[in-house]
Amino acid sequence: MPKYLILKHYRGTPATVNDVPMDQWAPAEVDAHMQFMDEFGKRLEENGELVDAQALSQEGAFVRANDQGTGPVTDGPFAETKDLIAGWYVVDVDGWDRAVELAGELSLAPGKDGRPIHEWLEVRPFYGAPSATGD
């Protein structure tokens, strides 16, 4: 079965329907969101479709080695993934349609006032996996 990445973003996508940043949610709303994410991951694990799921901290650094194998470690000035990528699921499913179906379910995670976020999620096949176009 092919593997797909379902990528969650902090920003850089179109606005969601329930577009209230998590830092403005009540603690119970954050808890409900996290419970949804946990249950989603457990269901995928039970189905044998989960490869990995991680939430990322916003901390990090950008590293580049020079010819001596050392080099700068910097925090900018450029768009960094720590500002963009919130986390991911790696799924091993029957194909593109199932990966998109799962992303659609994940998009409905609850947000402010318990309403679904309708979050935009990026779905990408791993190299060599069939895509929606068959390429």
Burial of 113 from C-beta contacts in 10 A (0-12 / 13-18 / 19+): exposed
pLDDT band at 14 (very low <50, low <70, confident <90, very high): confident
Cβ 90 vs Cβ 52: under 8 Å: yes
Look at the block and give the residue holding tokens 């949610």: 25
pLDDT, tens digit, 9 for 90 and up, residues 30-84 = 999 999 999 999 999 999 999 999 887 767 666 667 777 766 666 655 555 555 6
Query: What is the percentage of the chain residues whose pLDDT exceeds 70?
Result: 77
Please tell me the distance from the alpha carbon of residue 3 to that of residue 29, in angstroms, as a whole number.
31
For the whole model, what pTM was predicted? 0.77
Range with the lowest mean pLDDT among 2-6, 9-13, 59-63, 80-84? 80-84
Q: Are 114 and 77 in contact (CB under 8 A)?
A: no
Domain 3-56+86-125 has CATH 2.30.30: no
CB atoms within 10 A of CB 123: 20
Q: Break the chain into its structural domains and give their ranges.
A: 3-56+86-125
